[in-house]
Amino acid sequence: VKYIYMYNTIQIEVKENIGIIRLNRPDKLNAINLQMVEELVKALDELENNNDVKIVIITGNGRAFSAGADIKEMLETPLEDIMKRGHMPLWEKLRSFKKPIIAALNGITAGGGLELAMACDIIIAAESAKLGQPEINLGIIPGAGGTQRLTRTVGKFRAMELVLTGKLISAREAEAYGLVNKVVPDNSLLDEAIKLAKEIATKPAITLMLAKEAVSKAWDTLLQQGLDIERRNFYLALSTEEAKEGMKAFIEKRKPRWEK
Ligand code: CO8
């Protein structure tokens, strides 16, 4: 271990030329709050500027990769502030991040958690991981690429089923959908991610960046238009009474009561 940076909601270490980010709010299933957004942006900046680092791994501590945006915070934050600050800096940072990122899914990967994974370049999942976009159960919709990257990856019909039912699928199903590159035993997840990262890190740093940018461009042109519509509809959904009721119900650990 060469460097360890200090953060509250995440842990960073640099091993040889691999930067490892661990999401670290395990008692909240690594729900992404604004502090985590800020810290992830800072950490990604540091890893991007650190010339020893060629590739990054993101994983989670505890039994989740991430259960998505912090629902309590989302309910309590005025829509105006979410639109101004919100989670956007993280998605923008990931979109421009030049080095390859491997997401290593150690458990529950839901909502913004799956969107985070899909913003990475390669996804490895532990056998017990569960993936999905459960936003609809809160009266909202995915807001950070879930409707766009998922659809491009698994196709319209599977994406519709996932987004409209909100159900979580197993790592094996996700592998069959082409949503994860590889499923590995739970206890070898990080080793497998590091093994792949090491193989990639044998290539020249500059060539990796150029290759990543070129492959990413295969998505980019129409993706941005889709993401804009998604974001608009996410804010719209978030402003409804149904969303308030859905998120309150989650926090109060009961079923939402929706009129229609
Ligand atoms: N936010 C806040 N807290 C959470 C979240 C979350 N997303 N997920 C879990 N937690 C908390 C629980 O409240 C609980 O806390 P406590 O112990 O204090 O009561 C703790 O984590 C453990 O969770 P559970 O007891 O619920 O664990 P289970 O194993 O019973 O259930 C589930 C696991 C099924 C994953 C369940 O936790 C769940 O349904 N979580 C919510 C998943 C979800 O709906 N995610 C989508 C959130 S919305 C979103 O991500 C939109 C992103 C848009 C980003 C763009 C912004 C601009």
- Under 8 Å between Cβ of 41 and 90: yes
| Residues with catalytic function | 69, 112, 115, 135
For residue 64, which atom of ligand 1 is closest to its CA?
35
Burial 104-129 (b: 16+ CB within 10 A, else e): bbbbbbbbbbbbbbbbbbbbbbbebb
Residue 45 has which token pair?
Answer: 């900046």
- Residue-wise pLDDT tens for the chain (260 aa)? 555 667 999 999 999 999 999 999 999 999 999 999 999 999 999 999 999 999 999 999 999 999 999 999 999 999 998 888 889 999 999 999 999 999 999 999 999 999 999 999 999 999 999 999 999 999 999 999 999 999 999 999 999 999 999 999 999 999 999 999 999 999 999 999 999 999 999 999 999 999 999 999 887 778 888 889 999 999 999 999 999 999 999 999 999 999 88
Query: Per-residue b/e over 153-191, b at no fewer than 16 CB within 10 Å?
Result: bbeeebbeebbeebebbebebbbebebbeebbeeeebbe
Tell which residue, 95, 3, 12, 98, has the closest CA to residue 59: 12
- Over its C-alpha atoms, the chain yields an Rg (Å, rounded) of 18
The ipTM is 0.98
The two structure tokens encoding residue 250:
């989650």
Q: What is residue 1's predicted lDDT score, i.e. its pLDDT?
A: 54
CB atoms near residue 11 (< 10 Å):
18
The full set of domains in the chain, from first to last, is 3-205 (3.90.226.10)
Contacts of residue 57, Cβ cutoff 8 Å, sequence gap at least 6 = 18, 19, 20, 21, 101, 102, 103, 104, 190, 193, 194, 197
Number of other residues whose CB lies within 10 A of the CB of residue 77: 16
Judging by DSSP bridges, how do beta strands 10-15 and 18-23 pair with one another? Answer: antiparallel
pLDDT score of 51? 94
Whether the Cβ atoms of residue 124 and residue 184 lie closer than 8 Å to each other: yes
For residue 2, the model assigns a pLDDT of 54
Max Cα–Cα distance, the chain, nearest Å:
58
Pocket test for ligand 1, best of 29, 72, 140 (most atoms within 8 A of CB): 29
Count, residues in the chain:
260
Residues with CB under 6 A from ligand 1: 28-29, 31, 67-72, 82, 86-87, 108, 110-112, 134-135, 138, 143-144
pLDDT for residue 220: 77
